[in-house]
Structure formats: structure tokens, C-alpha cells
Structure 1
Amino acid sequence: MTAVLACASLGISLLIPCKSALAHEFWLVPVATPQRVGDTVALGLQVGEFFQGDDLGFSNAQTVTLKLYTASSVKDLRPQLSLLTLGKSIATFKLPLNQAGAHVVVYDSQPSVISLSADKFHAYLHDEGLDFIKTRREALGQALKPGRERYRRFVKTLINATDPTSATHPELEASDAVVTRSTGQRLELLPLNNPFKLTPGGALSLRVLFEGQPLAGALVKAWHRRSGQTLTVRATTNPAGEVQLDLPYAGPWMVSAVHMVAAQGSDEIDWDSLWGNLSFSLPEAPAVNDDTRKK
């Protein structure tokens, strides 16, 4: 399903964002592409709205999963994080890029809890495409009660490293299998094609998975900052849990989705929310020289 521009006025494609009731996205900051093999990148976590965030840092106590997926291995980064933090947080996590191709970094958080007044909770549900939860609350006689929620974050970022000595870059083909591999997150945004092969105006296809199964009817948002404004692309997943997002500009992108289910085993919490996020940098279009034009 092709996405549409959110909050758009007629004829306007670069948008001033609509104000959200509550939603605060959480993401791994996209790394510029391409990097070179041998580079070390500084991974950062941010939380905020409209793809503008505050730095959070990495804390071992708040981290459930921190893994690196490449074509050759899956590496658990938690032991390294534990040694670096020693009971405190660190602003960034330094990641060496030791091989060419795609690197997928996966981060899952510990749960946090929040309680919102009924009106704020319902406004937030509507903004995130979760009106079915409001309907359930009404059916349960909870429409006027605070929304008691436990939330978890399931985020990942894609990084592309190239070998400057190679003219053909075969690692780009091998990257397809890395980027499109499921990492098993409880809520996962899974690319179906490789964004590092796209250029501005290309379409990213992805599938939203909840507990390994396609999630139909999920609202997916893609975010991009440009000239001080935020562009938001929205789409709703089809029965196969899939969307297609048209990405008009190069540079950093963030894609997000939220799902919510009834909480189990707690008298203090009514709902569990899962926040999925995917970030990457879309490559610039290849430079056009005189020889290219003549062809």
C-alpha cells in the first residue's frame, strides 16, 4: 500500500508537523551512509517527537538486547556494554565496522510504566492508529478511567560499510540478506528490500511483525527532517502486514509503528504497548556527469 503525506495541505509536500497528544518516539540515531570498512561509528539513542530528540545514552540496566547482525555473524554486544557502563550510562556506544556490507544493530529496552488521564490516553491511541484499544476500554467500562500502560522499545538501525578498494562493491548484494533477516524482536519492522540500493524517490517495502506474525492494520510512519521541517509519510499495513513507503529525499530516515495488547499478570497495569522503530540513511543519487548525460 503506497503511503500518503501526513497533515498535508494541498500542494505542500514538506510539512510542518501536526502536534501529537503524547507520542514520544525512541530511536537509534541514523549513521550517514556509506561508511568505510575500518571506521568506528558512535551509536546514539534519542527520544522525542517529529524526529527531533534528546540524547539518552546507553545503560546496561535499561537494556534487554543489544546485538549486531552482519553477513558473517550475530554478535551479542551486551557484555561489552556492561563493561563500558559499570553501573552508569554512556553517551554513545562505539561500534567498529570490521567488514564490508550491511550492519544491523538491534536494541530492546526494559519496560517502563505510565498512567495517563482518559482524554490524553485516547488522544494518544488515536494518533498511533490504536483506536481499537479505545473501543475495548469502552466495552470494558473503562472509558473514563486513566490509561495504565507498560511500554517497551524495539528498535534497530541499518549501517552500510563499503570497501574503498573495490570498484564493484559485491558486499551490497550480500547486504540484502542481512537487512531483510528477521531479528526476532517482539515487534519488528522488517525491510523487504535494501534501502542502501535505493535513491531519492525510491520505495521501501517492509513488513510489521508481532511475535513473528504479520500485523495487519498497523499504522506505520516514516519521518525525515529537512530545512527545519518534518516530513511524515504514513501507511497502514495490509493483511500480510506489509506497507510500501515512498522516500523522496536522501539522508536520515526513521520508521515507526506501535502495537498494544491487554496486560497479563498485573493488577497495576492494563495495557502493554510495543514501540517498533527502524532507522537508516538513504543514499544520495549518483552524480551525473557529462559522459553520463551523453549516454
Structure 2
Amino acid sequence: MRTLALLAMLVALPASAHDFWLQPQSFHPAPGALLPLTLQVGHGPYRQRSPLPVRRIVRFQDVAPDGTASDLRAALHPGEADEDGAVRLTAPGTHVLVLETDDRAQSHLPALRFNDYLTVEGLTPALELRRAGHRMDADGAENYSRRAKVLVRVGSGGSSAPVTRPLGLTLEIVPEVDPYALPRPADLPVRICYEGRPLAGALVKLTDLAHDAEPLETHRTDGDGRARFPLPDAGDWLLNVIWTKPQPPTAETDFETVFSSLSFGFPRR
């Protein structure tokens, strides 16, 4: 009975439990203040501190308002009681913290759950490939990696130039305007880039991190890789997207998948 209950829980586990992001203690710190942050994964009852080991993090940078990139990997210490790292950001303006992992992690799922995951996350090309290969009844396996950006507004004034340009991630959410510079309410246009090109047909989700069991809104990117979301007035928010491509026949897994997120927040009034 215990085994059956565990299997039922695994089948029910939502695909959104894969979502990963950087959560600073504040999105609006004073210049030079110590800013703790945590690595988060999952939503609703499945949300938790990520168990990601530091050895898998290949990039953690602060891209300052003037575009200067600083290596912050030494500031990470995942698994401590209250935080997974802490940074000091001094220059006024919008900073982009960027985290990237290697792709050594693997996921192996029963066919039913793997197909459900591909459907929920909008990975239509992968589903079509499985159908064409008559593999809908086969278990699924993927290597996966994570990309996360967080927008931190330090003090007042300053630039926000890095916010609106790609920063070299395999899969990346790029706002076309700094959300902190927009009046609210307003719409936030974003571009999704995959391997340096606009990505059409990707499912992008906007989640209120205070009520995160389900996304607030979802949109597919258009032919230019663009989507548009209503800009929230307050609170902490997450945009996320997932994309995958088939592995070579000699690989251990079927697909190479990338999870990407962008987190930002506004003070509650």
C-alpha cells in the first residue's frame, strides 16, 4: 500500500515542480546592503529550497547597471539554515543576477508522466517526435540544466541597460523594458531566446509567488519569440519557460532540456 501511495503521488506531482528561481530577501535593497538570497524550486505544496549542490553551478554573476559582470560564485553557500548566499550590490540602478548550472542532472519518468509533463509545459515538438517514433508508451529520460535571472533594483537612479539585452544563456527571458521603469498598471513585453535565436511557440508562465500553486497567466511566444504580460502592481513575481531538443542516438537520455526563469518584485503598498 505504501508503494502504491508513493507511485500515485509521483504521477500527480505537477511538472511545474521543476521550476527554479533565485529569491532575494528584497528586490529593492539599499546600495551596499547585504542581500541574502535563496534558491527555490517547485510551487504550491511542492515548493522548497533547492538542494542544488554548488559544484553544479557554473555561472553566478552580477551584471551591474553599466554592464560590468562580476563573478559571485564565492558568495554562494547552498544549504545553510536561512540562506543559500548573500551579495552586496553598490551601484544604483537595476542589477541582473545570473545563475547557470551544468547539464549533468537526469530525469527518468514513466511514459504517462513524461507525456503529461511535455503537455503541461508546452513542449509540443518533443511530443510530436515521440508520436512520430511510436514512443508514446516508452518511458522518457532527459538531461537538464537551469538558467535563472533576478532583477534587483538598487537605490534610485542609475541605468538598467543589461535588463533588455541577452546575457548569453542557452534559454533566456529578456524583458524589452525594465519592469521597474514602467508605470503600473502596464504590460511587460518579453522575448524568449534559445541558442541565440528568437524562440517561437514556447509556453511562458507568469506566477504570483505569494499564491504559487498555479500560474496567473500563460502565453505562447509568437513567431518573433515575443509574449506580453500584464505588469503586476505589487508583490514578488516569476516568469518561467522550458525548452528541449532531442539528444543524439548514442546519448544516455532522449532529450536535452533547459529550464529558465526571471524573477522580480515590487513593494507592497
- Coarse TM-score class (shorter-chain normalised): 0.7 to 0.9
Query: Counterparts in 2 of 1:69-88, with a 5 A limit?
Result: 69-72=63-66, 73-78=68-73, 80-81=74-75, 85=77
Structure 2 residue runs without a partner (length 5+) = 1-11
For residues 21 and 28 of structure 1, what CA distance do their matches in structure 2 show? 20
- Tell me which residue corresponds to 2:164: 180
- Asked if residue 99 in structure 1 is aligned to residue 91 in structure 2, the reply is yes
- Tell whether the 8 Å contact from 2:62 to 2:70 is kept in structure 1 after alignment: yes
CA distance 1:89–1:284, shift in 2 (3 Å): closer
Query: Counterparts in 2 of 1:40-119, with a 5 A limit?
Result: 40-50=34-44, 53-56=47-50, 59-72=53-66, 73-78=68-73, 80-81=74-75, 85=77, 89-90=79-80, 91-111=83-103, 112-119=105-112
- Asked if residue 244 in structure 1 is aligned to residue 239 in structure 2, the reply is no
- Larger RCO: Structure 1 or Structure 2 (Cα < 8 Å, ≥ 6 residues apart)? 1
For residues 21 and 235 of structure 1, what CA distance do their matches in structure 2 show? 19
- Tell whether the 8 Å contact from 2:207 to 2:215 is kept in structure 1 after alignment: yes
1:228 CA displacement: 8.1
- Tell whether the 8 Å contact from 1:201 to 1:247 is kept in structure 2 after alignment: yes
RMSD: 2.3
3-state SS of the aligned residue for 1:259?
A: strand
What amino acid is aligned across from residue 101 of structure 1 in structure 2?
G
Structure 1 residue runs without a partner (length 5+) = 1-18, 163-168, 286-295
- Tell whether the 8 Å contact from 1:199 to 1:250 is kept in structure 2 after alignment: no
What amino acid is aligned across from residue 53 of structure 2 in structure 1?
S
What amino acid is aligned across from residue 34 of structure 1 in structure 2?
H
> Which of the two has higher C-alpha Rg?
1
Give the alignment partner of residue 151 of structure 2, picking from 145, 158, 162: 158
For residues 89 and 228 of structure 1, what CA distance do their matches in structure 2 show? 23
Instruction: Return the TM-score normalized by structure 1.
Output: 0.78
Question: 1:146-199 CA deviation, whole Å, 9 max, x = no partner?
Answer: 01111111111010011xxxxxx431xx11x12112110000011111111235
Instruction: Return the TM-score normalized by structure 2.
Output: 0.86
Query: Identity of counterpart residues, as a percentage?
Result: 28
3-state SS of the aligned residue for 1:35?
A: coil
* Equivalenced residues, count: 253
1:55 CA displacement: 1.1
For residues 51 and 117 of structure 2, what CA distance do their matches in structure 1 show? 26
- Tell me which residue corresponds to 1:129: 122
CA distance 1:200–1:227, shift in 2 (3 Å): farther
- Tell whether the 8 Å contact from 1:67 to 1:105 is kept in structure 2 after alignment: yes
What amino acid is aligned across from residue 71 of structure 2 in structure 1?
D
3-state SS of the aligned residue for 2:137?
A: coil
